[in-house]
Amino acid sequence: MHATTHIGKRLVFGLAALLLVLGMTGALTSCADSARQEETVQSTETTVAPKEAQQRLRVATTTSLYDTGLWSYLEPMFEEKYSVELDVMSAGTGKALEYGTRGDVQVITVHSKIREEAFVADGYGVERVPFAYNYFLIVGPESDPAGIKGLLPEDAFRRLAETGSGSFISRGDDSGTHSKEKAIWQQAGYDYETIRAAGSWYIETGTGMGPALMMASEKQAYTLTDMGTYLAYKGKLELIPFVDRGAILLNVYAAIACASENMTETQFEMANNLVDFLTSPEIQKLIGDYGLAQYGMQLFTPCAGAEPVE
């Protein structure tokens, strides 16, 4: 009877302990579930919608506008005004037009009127809008071995070809400057392909204006350059201008909003905003003042949508 009582007590105590363990387990499970639910609520409350990516606008620009630092000067102003990220790619006019034709960019700023007009006529651009101009120069070593000082551009090129008295560095990159060089050769009465094969005095670089000027300085050769890039690089060069007059030397920069079917309505609107920005009175003044303090003369003359007269 005594043993049975102890056994019964042990069973009762064991059962009680089991129930206690089960109760604690349930309580712990309930606490864990509660914690998870609270964590889920907190996580839901603190989740923030991802920030919308900033709009981007891609511009292909001739190297002279880039090498002079003009785009670096204007770019942050446009980005701040329109809350857009501007991607400016430096390329020769030919390459810039190619980018525009393929729909890789939304705006081009170049300087080859005939090709720009064809680009618009073929439906790749909205409108050709001139916004600045300067002039081309023929520069060379101070010794002027070919004696071209003061000549008209066509006569200077003719002298270079006939005398072979000085090397000539050509961009050779299908740029606006290269197109102008070919136009001068044609005006001088020469077939360009004949000039290319004329001898070692004629050197094609396939580079931008800055590197072409540096090579001309190193080799003490002549080259055709836009005035803006020459002034920007002048301190690094042993070259001086010899030919700076003649209607053919006019160098007009134009902006064209592209008309690619790949463009969104927002991109199209922003592209036109950039053209308006470049021709606005405020920015036109900044373009006209650019370089004055550093070089003592304008790198570019603003023309606000009007075509300068040659």
Name, in order, each residue with C-beta under 8 angstroms of 160's C-beta and a sequence gap of 6 or more: 146, 148, 166, 168, 201, 222
**Lookup result for tokens 């071209």:** 148
- Which pLDDT score, from 0 to 100, does residue 309 have? 73
Three-state secondary structure call for residue 123: coil
Name, in order, each residue with C-beta under 8 angstroms of 78's C-beta and a sequence gap of 6 or more: 84, 86, 274, 277
In the numeric block, which tokens belong to residue 132? 């600045």
Q: If you ran DSSP here, which 8-state letter would residue 238 be given?
A: -
Q: Do domains 56-133+251-302 and 135-249 have the same CATH topology?
A: yes
- Which pLDDT score, from 0 to 100, does residue 136 have? 97
The phi and psi torsions of 68 (rounded to 5 degrees) equal: -75, -10
User: Pick from 295, 210, 286, 301: which is nearest to 250 by CA?
Assistant: 301
The phi and psi torsions of 259 (rounded to 5 degrees) equal: -125, 40
User: Pick from 120, 255, 242, 97: which is nearest to 178 by CA?
Assistant: 97
- Which pLDDT score, from 0 to 100, does residue 53 have? 55
Domain residue extents for the chain = 56-133+251-302, 135-249
* CB crowding 51-71: b at 16 or more within 10 Å, else e: eeeeeebbbbbbbbbbbbebb
| pLDDT averaged over every residue in the chain | 86
Convert the pLDDT of each residue in 235-289 to its tens digit: 999 999 999 999 999 999 999 999 998 899 999 999 999 999 999 999 999 999 9
Q: What architecture (CATH level 2) is domain 56-133+251-302?
A: 3-Layer(aba) Sandwich (3.40)
The answer to whether 144 and 124 have CB atoms below 8 angstroms apart is no
In single-letter form, the type of residue at position 149 comes to K
Give pTM, 2 decimals. 0.80
Q: Are strands 129-140 and 250-257 parallel, antiparallel or unpaired?
A: antiparallel
- Give CA–CA dist 187/180, Å, rounded: 10
- Which pLDDT score, from 0 to 100, does residue 27 have? 42
Convert the pLDDT of each residue in 133-172 to its tens digit: 999 999 999 999 999 999 999 999 999 999 989 999 999 9
Convert the pLDDT of each residue in 65-103 to its tens digit: 999 999 999 999 999 999 999 999 999 899 999 999 999
The answer to whether 198 and 117 have CB atoms below 8 angstroms apart is no
Q: What is the mean pLDDT of residues 299-304?
A: 94
The answer to whether 227 and 134 have CB atoms below 8 angstroms apart is yes
- Give CA–CA dist 211/67, Å, rounded: 10
31 has pLDDT over 50: no
23 has pLDDT over 50: no
CA 143 to chain CA mean position, Å: 37
pLDDT band of residue 60 (cuts 50, 70, 90) is very high
CA angle 55, 58, 61 (to 5 degrees): 150
- Which pLDDT score, from 0 to 100, does residue 186 have? 97
In the numeric block, which tokens belong to residue 267? 């991109």
CATH superfamily of 135-249: Periplasmic binding protein-like II (3.40.190.10)
pLDDT band of residue 42 (cuts 50, 70, 90) is very low
The answer to whether 252 and 307 have CB atoms below 8 angstroms apart is yes
